[in-house]
Amino acid sequence: MDGKESTASGVWRILDASLNRASEGLRTIEEYARFVLGDPQLSEQLKQLRHQTATAAEGLPRSQLLAARDTPGDVGTAIETPTETERVDALAVAIAAAARVQQSLRCLEEYGKIVDSGIGRAFEACRYRSYTLFATLEQLSQRRDRLADCQLYVLVDGGDSIEAMTATIAELAEAGADLIQLRDKRLNDRELYEHAAAAAATLRPSRCLFIVNDRPDIAAAVHADGVHVGQDELPATVVRQIIGPERLLGVSTHCVAQVEQAVSDGADYIGCGPTFPSGTKSFEAFPGTDFLRDAALTTTLPAFAIGGIGVENLEHVLDAGFSRVAVAGAITRSESPAAMVAELKQRLLRQDEATNR
């Protein structure tokens, strides 16, 4: 084999190996989105990228790829790095696969130009699309990870003063609240902003997440951990544009159709209810625990039962398949809000331990 033939053979070997790596990596990432994240939209988008890559590869004759393949003669198969055999979790697997895909697509783009400039452009389009999708996947995973151990969500109002409110939420966070939402329709925009800014600053050093109700603009302005919207507020897709990819987005749901829509719109978690009559909010109808059972079967998204929940009826919520609850009056109106938080949290933890045995 002369120099030109050797070079040509080497190019086809590069194209073959790179295409294999890209295809394998895309499937690895798609499975993560499908089975770990359970995200239908992202799974579909990754599937489309996999098919787009396969379409781009149609410009490379398979007969030449196979003819150039020489796995036993590949000197790279014996080369390993220390980190290559280590993966700490499923996200690490997906991130490593994403890096391999992007590197392989670049090789396909550059060496594909030798075969045909159109092939290079086709793989270039795949590479640019992968940047956006893989960033979305990692950001989604990070948001899910922040919610993974969250079970007790407490809703508070602005209190009699900012000082009183911050003292209350600090006490609730210390007692074991995982998320605290500021919800107060009495406050004007300036007052709500000032209360939210103080709450965010109070909770920032803690492990407790801070959520603003209904107002994505204020959530973004005070650097809250997220925002929660109902069915009558801005659509979740619009809210995401306002708060960006880092913050959590919660959506209230009252039926299975709304659960499915929230999932489709990219919610990070959902509130499901109202479960029981509540002293803090009035409703015309109560979907109750039947809805909780249906919601638990509909999605793997973190879901918090809400509406009139307290220690006296928590067992009914747990029996419906929910181990996450959002509570307002049962905590804030109790003689000792911190003690009530601690009691609810302990019961939720016991249920979680029993379920995972």
Q: What is the pLDDT of residue 305?
A: 98
pLDDT at 275 over 90: yes
The structure tokens listed for 194 are 């000032």
- How many angstroms separate the CA atoms of 149 and 132, rounded? 28
The structure tokens listed for 4 are 């030109």
Domains 3-145 and 149-355 share a fold: no
What does the pLDDT average to over 318-336?
96
Instruction: Give pTM, 2 decimals.
Output: 0.87
Q: What is the pLDDT of residue 5?
A: 57
What does the pLDDT average to over 302-327?
97
Residue stretches of the annotated binding site = 181-185, 213-214, 233, 252, 278-281, 308
- How many angstroms separate the CA atoms of 273 and 307, rounded? 6
Query: Is residue 100 very low, low, confident or very high in pLDDT (cuts 50, 70, 90)?
Result: very high
**3-145 fold:** Ferritin (1.20.1260)
Q: Return the SS3 of 185.
A: coil
Instruction: Specify the CATH superfamily of domain 149-355.
Output: Aldolase class I (3.20.20.70)
Q: What is the pLDDT of residue 276?
A: 94
Higher per-residue confidence, 7 vs 114: 114
pLDDT at 203 over 70: yes
The structure tokens listed for 321 are 């398949």
- How many angstroms separate the CA atoms of 332 and 158, rounded? 12
Q: What share of the chain is helix, strand, coil (3-state, %, to 5)?
A: 60, 10, 30
- How many angstroms separate the CA atoms of 109 and 15, rounded? 9
The structure tokens listed for 192 are 């709500």
Q: What is the pLDDT of residue 279?
A: 67
Kindly list the distances between the CA atom of residue 102 and the CA atoms of 12, 78, 161, 329, 357, in Å, as whole numbers in the listed order. Answer: 19, 22, 53, 51, 40
Residue stretches of the annotated binding site for Mg(2+) = 214, 233
pLDDT at 85 over 80: no
Q: What is the pLDDT of residue 187?
A: 98
What does the pLDDT average to over 296-306?
95
Q: Domain spans of the chain?
A: 3-145, 149-355
Q: What is the pLDDT of residue 352?
A: 79
Nearest 10 degrees: CA dihedral of 337, 342, 345, 346?
-150
pLDDT at 84 over 70: no
Report the range of poorest mean pLDDT among 85-89, 165-169, 183-187. Answer: 85-89
Q: What is the mean pLDDT of the chain?
A: 93
Report the range of poorest mean pLDDT among 62-76, 111-125, 154-168, 178-192. Answer: 62-76
- Taking phi over 0 as left and psi of -120 to 50 as alpha, with beta for the rest, 321 belongs to left
Q: What is the pLDDT of residues 224-250, one digit of tens each?
A: 999 999 999 999 999 999 999 999 999
Q: What is the pLDDT of residue 288?
A: 94
Q: What's the 3-state SS for 308-356?
A: CCCCCCHHHHHHCCCCCEEECHHHHCCCCHHHHHHHHHHHHHHHHHHHC
pLDDT at 270 over 80: yes
Rg (CA), the chain: 26
Please report, rounded to a whole number, the percentage of residues in the chain having pLDDT higher than 70: 92
Q: What is the pLDDT of residue 286?
A: 82
What does the pLDDT average to over 341-345?
98
The structure tokens listed for 59 are 């410009």
Is the bond leading into 216 cis (omega within 30 degrees of zero)?
no
- How many angstroms separate the CA atoms of 168 and 209, rounded? 15
Q: Which contiguous run of DSSP H or E holds residue 213?
A: strand 209-213
